[in-house]
Amino acid sequence: MKYVVVVLLSIMLNLSLHSQNSDREMLLNKADSLDKSKNYKASLPLWENLKTSNKEGDVAFYTARYLYAKGGIEIENNNVAGAVSIFEQAIPFISKIKVLDSNKKFISEFYSDLYLSTGFSGNWEKALNYAKTGYDFTAKNLPKDKDLINFVQDQGYILKQLRRYEESIIAYEKALKLAYKFYAKDYFRLGIVHNGLATAYSDLHFHNQSLYHYTKALEFHKKSNDIDKSYVVSSSNNTIWENLSYGDEKQAKIVLDNLNSNFSKWYAEEGFASKTKRGDKIEKEHYKMLKYLSNLRYNNKINKNNFAKNYLDSVVLVFDKLPEDYKPKLYEPMLLARFDYEDVFYKNNVLDENQINQHIAFNKKTLELARKYNSKHDELVACLKLAKVYNKYEKFEEALDVIEEGKKISENFFNASRFTIEILEATILNSQNKTNQSKTKLLKTYQDLLKDETKVATLTNLKYSHFKKFNSDTFIRNIINSATLYFLMYEKDKKKEDLIIAHNLFFIASDMFNEFYLKGKYNYSLNIFNKEISAGLLKTQLLIDPNDKSKIKVILNRIENNSSQHLWNIFEVKNSQNLKVPPSLIRNLNELVFEKNAIEQQLKLSKDNKELKNKLVDLDKNITKIKASINEKDQSYETFKSGNFSIDAIQKKLSTNQLMIKYVVTEKEVYAFAIKNSSIELVNLGEAASIKKIVNQQLKQVNSIDGNYAKTGKLLYEKIVHPMVKNQSVDAIIFVPEDFLNLVSFESLSNKNGQMLVQNFHTSYAYSIKLWDILQTDKKEGNDLNRFVSFAPNYAKIPTENQMRGLLRADLFDLAEAKKEAKKISDLFNGKLYLNEEANRKNFLQATTDFSFHHLAMHSLMEEDYAKSSLVFSDNQKVLFDELYQLNFPSKLVVLSACNTGIGSMESGEGMMSLSRALTYSGVKSSVYSLWQVPDKETSEIMISFYENLKEGQSKDEALANAKRDFIENNPMKNHPFYWAGFVVNGDVSPILESTNWWLYIGIGLAIGLLIFLFRKKLF
């Protein structure tokens, strides 16, 4: 009986314990569920119950959960410091918890909230330690947990707050790898990480990297369908700003147009700006200000000042309507708008005293606002802006007073604004003839900037490696300004040390620019930087030692590597494709490109045509597929491979009879490098403005058949040719012109004896030395003249007999001589002739891959918008510049026997955007083109002679020079350059056919026959 009682009591005790455990489990689950929904007020008493009712085992866990919920309530009440204090009380209990599968996630989340609240309470150093502890725990116990990325990503953010930018970038890069691993399809998450990495690179002034990651952030945010669109607005604003800083207004406009067209729709969405820290609807106005700010920046950049002012007013209007307690949180777009609009004021050439006072008052107000909202960085920027304004109006003392105010602003790091304001101070001191004070200030400024990199005793020994952290337009500008300042000091005092420092700083600026430049298409800002740096390097080197050939080579290498790589890269890629990819695949791509352009032209006339829009979408898909197929055949497709340029390698490829002249046009002066296989020389040719004036005068005289051309031609020859060719023993010159020198037909210039250059040299042209270099690598053309094609369209406009006498290849008249020319040349090489109606777009497209040599005897149209310039085929069918640009055109020679095919709009840093240049973009190895409206009859005579010379095995430059000489000799009444000098050859000048020299072979044969005859005669 006693045994039975004991058993019953045991059973009852177990049932009681089971019931207690079951109740505790239910309580635990309920409390945990409330925590997950952030309902800490409801969960807190449950955790307290669990904590007090369990005196053994799990007490540490329940106490930690209780304190965690208590801290969560403080966060809800915006008492972050109070939350940190409570969370820190929980740390000893967290350390006592036995780690189980059931509590791993909580411990990980605890550390996450601990470091976030610690950071936002202002203690970022301690927050970093907590984040590392949390990461170590999570990586060990939850290695596959996707939230592991949060610890890494947030460490990047914390390190950014601590100004430890390099470590921040490393953390963000690690987070990015995890994001692609765990969240490959979570576009929102990928966008957030890319955005964080972009800001870290921006803080370290690697603006090319920040531009890339801002762009990727925007790309992913736009892909995310359920995203709060305020993220897209923010990413758009960042991307627009970074593109404008780089100088890419075109790309900024694309992003801005998308923002403007969608903003109203996004703003009206219920969830817009719901993921801001407070989710407050008033904070939506922040994004409205960002939209106006982006528009202000863009219009400021393109000098639409009235529009910029309207957008400034819009930002201010939104800000003024905010409740007062919100303004300290949302003031930043308003201040940024004022900073950006200051550029509009500053660019204006203001002379009126009232306008000067308005300008100063505007900046004083900005400084007042920065101080009101207690933003130390913005206050420093406002001081800088105001000081620059005072300096502009030569109010030097006022400027220095503001600079002193700025220097007192407490910031624990030396940033771009502080660097800029101190360089400005040195500039002002020099303007006041306080040279020694200016030098002392400059040295101290660089010492402060580089204190973590190197000890700076003198600016003479500074190296680019010291500036690796500082890669932005702001730092490049300040180093150029510093170099210019030292050069001004040298000009005043003639101290060689100042000149050497200036030279060294220009070298550093050139290295920084090479890193900053993304190797794509140039823009106005890039061109300005490059011209200033090139001018600085050249003028200082000529003063230091004009005979230091090794240093001159280094400078030329830098100039060529820093110039636009756009044409060089595209040609290299397409040339590689043309060698490796089947012609059928290239032709298929070309056909789709032509079809796409045709549909886009139709859509301009009927924008709402859904059928055409759908067809365009299908075409884009097909083009993408073909590009992928081409990429499989040739990995260089759409990959820029900007290898380093070396003039030593170029010199080895020049023959002893060749001279290459590379021109460099800066804002004030023109320079030239005279390059031979065994020597190099740098020459200052004089003022750019005066040379440009002579060039324009000579071109006008040539086009108007003015007899005074000879005098101008002599003057120009003495200016831009004679300094390089004197004392040279050469018969071939390769001209590499830039800027307005692209307009010059050098062959027509004459020396002091009246001999035109064409009479002594055969000449060719190159768009760049790098491009010339590529074309020297493979010259084995072979005798494939059966791959020759000629086009000569008919045109509806028939000239009268009088018009025929002086007919130009212009005004779309039918060209009888051009047809004769095309037929004659086609017969000469047994080639294919497309005449009249057959000379159309379709046959031209087919011919791009079916033939190796292309002769186009036709009209061309030059438009103000160079993208719309065109070759005109039969029935007025046009092939536009943009279409030629997009083609893969594997031709060894294209002769554009038409007007103005080498002339077009001048684009900053890119050169003359002509039809001939479009051919080079498409992969054509060499081209013959015209520099003005050429006469029909005379052109035919020169062209036929040119091809006859080519057939004899002459090189292209020699063949064209001889054709011109023969024309002058045969037409003494037409020796004016208008008739014969318009055509030039660019690119590969190697022969299209190996020289036969039959007379030599016959001579050798006769000699051998004679020897055999004499030998046999002796035998008998």
Q: Which residues contact 194 (CB under 8 A, 6 or more apart)?
A: 176, 213, 214, 216, 217, 220
Confidence bin at 367 (pLDDT 50/70/90): very high
At 101, is the pLDDT very low, low, confident or very high (cuts 50, 70, 90)? confident
Decide if pLDDT at 782 tops 60: no
Mean pLDDT along residues 232-240: 95
Provide the pLDDT for residue 8. 42
DSSP β-bridge partners for residue 880: 870
In angstroms, the first-to-last Cα distance of the chain is: 153
Q: Give residue 798's pLDDT.
A: 72
Question: If you average pLDDT over residues 273-297, what whole number do you get?
Answer: 80
Question: Tokens 């700083």, residue?
Answer: 505
User: Could you report the per-residue pLDDT of 929-946, keeping only the tens digit for each?
Assistant: 888 787 878 888 998 999
Q: What is the model's pLDDT at position 333?
A: 94
So what's the pLDDT on residue 636? Answer: 44
pLDDT in tens, 159-172: 888 878 778 888 88
Percent of the chain at pLDDT exceeding 70: 86
Does residue 468 have a pLDDT over 50? yes
The CA dihedral of 122, 80, 143, 220, to the nearest 10 degrees, is: -80
pLDDT in the model for residue 473: 85
Residue 15 pLDDT more than 70?
no
Name the band, by pLDDT with cuts 50, 70 and 90, for residue 907: low
Range picked from 682-686, 864-868, 1011-1015 for highest mean pLDDT: 682-686
User: Tell me, what's the pLDDT at 30?
Assistant: 85
**Would you state the pLDDT for residue 12?**
44
Of 499, 504, 523, 525, the C-alpha closest to 459 is: 504
| pLDDT over 60 at 996, yes or no | no
What's the confidence (pLDDT) of residue 305? 92
The predicted model gives 865-883 an average pLDDT of 84
In angstroms, the CA 587 to CA 618 distance is: 18
867 vs 875, higher pLDDT: 875
Percent of the chain clearing pLDDT 90 (strictly above): 41
Distance from CA of residue 570 to its chain's centroid?
Answer: 14
pLDDT of residue 949: 93
Higher pLDDT among residues 822 and 904, named by residue: 822
The pLDDT confidence band at residue 7, using thresholds 50, 70 and 90, is very low
Does the pLDDT of residue 977 top 70, yes or no?
yes
* Average pLDDT value for the chain: 84
What is the phi/psi pair of residue 221, to 5°? Answer: -65, -35
Which neighbouring-strand residues pair with 897? Answer: 857
Query: What is the spatial distance between Cα 939 and Cα 960, in angstroms, rounded to a whole number?
Result: 12
Q: What is the pLDDT of residue 497?
A: 96
pLDDT for the residue 296: 96
User: Phi/psi at 235 (nearest 5 deg)?
Assistant: -65, -40
Give the least confident one: 371-375, 393-397, 471-475, 773-777.
773-777
More confident residue, 781 or 774: 774
Q: Which residue has the tokens 């035919």?
A: 940
pLDDT surpassing 50 at residue 1014: no
pLDDT band of 908, cuts 50, 70, 90: low
- Which pLDDT score, from 0 to 100, does residue 640 have? 37
Span 574-595, pLDDT tens digits: 566 555 667 676 677 777 777 7
For position 833, what pLDDT does the model report? 94
- Residue 522 clears pLDDT 80, i.e. is over it: no
Asked if residue 268 has pLDDT above 80, the reply is yes
Look at residue 644 and give its three-state secondary structure.
coil
Tell me how far CA of residue 575 lies from CA of 122, 571, 581, 996, in angstroms.
58, 6, 10, 29
pLDDT score for 678 = 92
For residues 194 and 643, give the distance between their C-alpha atoms in angstroms, rounded to a whole number. 28
pLDDT tens profile 627-678: 777 666 655 444 334 456 789 999 999 999 999 999 999 999 999 999 999 9
Q: Report whether pLDDT(238) > 90.
A: yes
Q: How far is CA 701 from the centre of its chain?
A: 39
Q: What per-residue confidence (pLDDT) applies to 936? A: 74
The predicted pLDDT at position 800 comes to: 61
What pLDDT is recorded for position 1018?
A: 44
For the ranges 250-254, 274-278, 844-848, 984-988, the maximum mean pLDDT occurs at: 250-254
Kindly tell me if the per-residue pLDDT of 435 is higher than 90: yes
Which pair of tokens denotes residue 666?
């800066």
Instruction: State which H helix or E strand residue 923 sits in.
Output: none
Region of 638 on the Ramachandran plot (φ > 0 left; ψ -120 to 50 alpha; else beta)? left
Residues 139 and 148 sit within 8 Å (Cβ to Cβ): yes
Helices 2-36 and 59-76: crossing angle, nearest 10°? 30
928 in helix, strand or coil? strand
In the predicted structure, residue 922 carries a pLDDT above the cut 90: no
List of residues 6+ apart from 375 with CB closer than 8 A: 331, 332, 335
Query: Mean pLDDT over residues 86-92, rounded?
Result: 90
Adjacent-strand bridge partners of 1005: none
Q: Is 894 helix (H, G, I), strand (E, B) or coil?
A: strand
Higher pLDDT, 64 or 504: 504
- Strands 732-736 and 762-765, sheet pairing: parallel
Indicate the pLDDT class of residue 446, thresholds 50, 70 and 90.
very high
Confidence of residue 805 (pLDDT cuts 50, 70, 90): low
Of residues 373 and 999, more confidence is placed in 373
What secondary structure does DSSP assign to 532-598, as a single string? HHHHHHHHHHHHH-TT-HHHHHHHHHHHHHHS--HHHHHHHHHHHHHHHS-HHHHHHHHHHHHHHHH
pLDDT at 9 over 50: no
3-class DSSP assignment, residue 809:
coil
Whether the pLDDT of residue 62 is over 80: the answer is yes
**pTM (global) more than 0.75:** yes
Q: What is the pLDDT of residue 1020?
A: 38
Confidence of residue 566 (pLDDT cuts 50, 70, 90): low
pLDDT tier, 18 (very low <50, low <70, confident <90, very high otherwise)? very low
CA distance 640 to 3: 91
Name the residue among 813, 872, 812 with its Cα closest to residue 844: 872
Identity (one letter) of the amino acid at 524? Y
Report which of 76, 75, 45 is spatially closest to residue 62, judged by C-alpha positions: 45
Q: What region, left, alpha or beta, does residue 925 occupy, with left being phi > 0 and alpha being psi -120 to 50 degrees?
A: alpha
Band of residue 230 on the pLDDT scale cut at 50, 70, 90:
very high
User: Using 50, 70 and 90 to split pLDDT, how confident is the model at 562?
Assistant: confident
Within 450-565, residue ranges assigned H as helices are 473-493, 496-516, 524-544, 549-562
Predicted local distance difference test score (pLDDT) of residue 293:
96
Integer-rounded Cα Rg, in Å, for the chain is: 37
The answer to which of 60-74, 473-487, 587-601 has the lowest mean pLDDT is 587-601
